[in-house]
Amino acid sequence: MNSTPSRTIIIEEFGGPEVMKLVDREIGNPGPGQIRIRHKACGLNYIDVYQRVGLYPLQLPTALGMEGAGIVEAVGEGVVHLKAGDRAAYASMPPGAYCEARVMPAAQVCPLPDAISFEDGAAMMLKGLTVQYLFRRTTPIAKGDTVLFHAAAGGVGLFACQWARSEGITLIGTAGSDEKCALARENGASHVINYNTEDFAARVREITSGKGVDVVMDSVGKATFEGSLNSLKPFGMMITFGNASGKVPPFDVGMLAAKGSLKITRPTIFTHISDFEACQQMARELFEKVTTGQVSVRIDQRYPLEKVAEAHRALEARKTTGATILTV
């Protein structure tokens, strides 16, 4: 098939939402280990902001976007888990999902069950696979354990609230407004804390009768870091997996000993999904959670591809709840 143009969002410099440009890009045929996918929708994530501003630097110029869903148009040599005409969804490096169609590595693209819509598929992959590795692949978490989860009304947070509820895990969710706290509770948080009106670490101690939580899952970063450590029980695990408020400053590891022999880790989804078998297995488990109704996808914002700057502004201003998608 001959090369066809695809409307694609790119950046040529790091900066604010205004640096994103809509251009026509030629896309060819997939090579070995690649597919060409025509998107029906793509997802928006905070990592897109980090990449746009240069916090996670990419070689410029670059396309943006880490997840999407659509129809496979063609497969390259060696690709056996997908074929032309298949419904598929992915979260994947390199970025480039903000587009009508693209050629990309096939290993992290997953067959999408018929029971899951393209919009839900586009909204759930990066967030849902993140929650899967947080609860299943980072540290042992059992029924009855208690987890503190920051930004519990966001895209990842609402998945986490529902996942915890489905597994009998007590989740204490924090959010920045009473409305967002109510949303987290609605989705399965056992307790909620408005971190703008309460000292969340003190409130966690109250909720846990002074013991602290088994695990903290923190994507906020700088603003919540110390309070998160102060919320853990001895031998507790701190999972820092994002930095929406800024990077965590350097700290003295001796602090972990002083606060109760704590553990800390900084995982990323891309290490987990870099293995083909692991990625496909994680996706199957996520799809099962969704198709059985244990977890549902909440899309609260939809923007056409050309309005991507507006979508980024809303995300950065913390005016969003649930997931945001770009329609193609």
Of 109 and 154, the one with more pLDDT: 109
Confidence label for 245 from pLDDT (cuts 50, 70 and 90): confident
Is 301 in the same domain as 213? no
Is 36 in the same domain as 53? yes
Residue where a domain stops, chosen among 224, 244, 266:
266
DSSP state of 308: H
Mean pLDDT of 281-306: 96
Tell me the CA end-to-end span of the chain in Å, nearest whole number: 22
In a domain, 133, yes or no: no
Give the mean pLDDT of the chain. Answer: 95
Mean pLDDT of 278-286: 97
Q: What is the pLDDT of residue 62?
A: 96
Confidence label for 322 from pLDDT (cuts 50, 70 and 90): confident
- Residue 52 is part of a domain; what is its CATH number? 3.90.180.10
In a domain, 131, yes or no: no
DSSP state of 292: T
Of 245 and 53, the one with more pLDDT: 53
DSSP state of 314: H
In a domain, 132, yes or no: no
Q: Is the pLDDT of residue 287 over 70?
A: yes
Work out the percent of the chain whose per-residue pLDDT is above 70.
99
Q: Is the pLDDT of residue 1 over 60?
A: no
Residue where a domain stops, chosen among 234, 266, 298:
266
Distance, in Å, from the CA atom of 9 to the CA atom of 59, rounded to the nearest integer, reads 15
pLDDT digits (tens, 9 = 90+) for 138-177: 999 999 999 999 999 988 999 999 999 999 999 999 999 9
199 Cβ neighbours under 8 A, 6+ residues apart? 227
CA neighbor of 163 nearest in space, from 179, 141, 181, 139: 141
Is 145 in the same domain as 252? yes
What total of structural domains would you count in the chain?
Answer: 2
DSSP state of 48: H
Q: Is the pLDDT of residue 65 over 60?
A: yes
Is 76 in the same domain as 161? no
In a domain, 256, yes or no: yes
Residue where a domain stops, chosen among 266, 291, 311:
266
275: containing domain? 4-126+270-327
- Residue 160 is part of a domain; what is its CATH number? 3.40.50.720
Q: What is the pLDDT of residue 191?
A: 98
In a domain, 34, yes or no: yes
Is 250 in the same domain as 262? yes
Is 169 in the same domain as 226? yes
Sign of CA dihedral 152, 154, 157, 163: positive
Is 195 in the same domain as 214? yes
Is 176 in the same domain as 94? no
